[in-house]
Amino acid sequence: MIGSSAPISDAATNNTRSSLVMDKITAGYHADQWVLNGVSLRAEPERVTVVLGPNGAGKSTVLKVLYGLVAPHAGSVRVGDQDITRLPPEARLALGLAYLPQGHSVFPSLTVQENLEMGLWIYRHDRARREEALERCFAEYPVLKDLRAKLAGSLSGGQQRLLEVARLMLPNPTVLLIDEPSVGVAPNLVDILYEHIVRWRNQGKTVLLVDQNVEAAVSIADYVYTLESGRNRLDGPRDEFEGRLREVVGQWLRLDVLP
């Protein structure tokens, strides 16, 4: 995770900044070839907001724009009442945002402990805070304490994902951007990851989730957005959305994927 030289306050005390708004964002990776075309969404505290769509709809790009990894051509991003559209990722981290990317993001040649310490880079001048955060982490994820001296690259895929989740939570963020957490992960670990997501919501955090596992994602969602071709299509509370899920996904895949 990218560090910041700015003073960091405990994100858990910063709930007034934890709503997240994307307003009419146009963005992409090449000029005039936009992946997102005027996309808007809102994620609130104590909610899991899910973004669904077919491959190429722009779901992962939404998260990258929100975290500052892709600069928008037009539109704005806000946390609470603060415009963060032009802030770099490290400044967003300092405001309580955290991002779990799709696929593995461990440093394979570093140990488990060193990977976790990278997640505490923003506290690099505060040894007591780093040690306290690590102790909390090992209490919550005791398997990582047993593996702390092993190289991260030698871990199983599931263990690496667990390490990524633990590292994500070390700075105690208030806004979580989660991209495809179930990809390449055994079903039993997927269940554990989703239990964590529900717990984070119940702790008052703002969760924005992208996942190809449509049924699982909708099962924990409070609000759902769908994208097609980089544009908003449908959105609504889960209870209103579930009745249209078969139709929407069937259109994406042109087959009935749901039982």
The per-residue pLDDT for range 49-59, each reduced to its tens digit, is: 999 999 899 99
| Residues 60 and 227: beta-carbon distance below 8 Å | no
Note whether 249 and 215 are within 8 A (CB): no
pLDDT band at 253 (very low <50, low <70, confident <90, very high): low
Q: Is 62 helix (H, G, I), strand (E, B) or coil?
A: helix
- Is 113:167 a contact under the CB 8 Å cutoff? no
Where b means 16+ CB within 10 Å and e means fewer, 226-235 reads bbbebebebb
Q: Which residues, including other chains, have CB under 8 Å from residue 23's CB and lie 6 or more apart?
A: 40, 75, 76, 77, 78
Q: What does the pLDDT look like over 200-242, one tens digit per residue?
A: 999 999 999 999 888 889 999 999 999 999 999 989 999 887 7
- Tell me: pLDDT of 81 over 50: yes
The pLDDT value given to residue 255: 41
Each as own residue / partner, the long-range contacts of residues 137-142 (CB below 8 Å, 24 or more positions apart, any chain) are: 137/166, 137/169, 137/170, 140/166, 141/166
Quick check: pTM over 0.75? yes
Q: Please, which residues have CB within 8 angstroms of residue 64's CB and are 6 or more apart in sequence? A: 70
Q: Which percentage of the chain shows pLDDT scores above 90? A: 67
Q: With contact defined as beta carbons under 8 Å apart, do 50 and 43 qualify?
A: no
How far from 102 is each of 59, 77, 210, CA to CA, in Å?
Answer: 11, 21, 9
Is pLDDT at 162 greater than 70 in this prediction?
Answer: yes
Distance (Å, whole) CA 233 – CA 224? 11
For tokens 């209103």, name the residue: 240
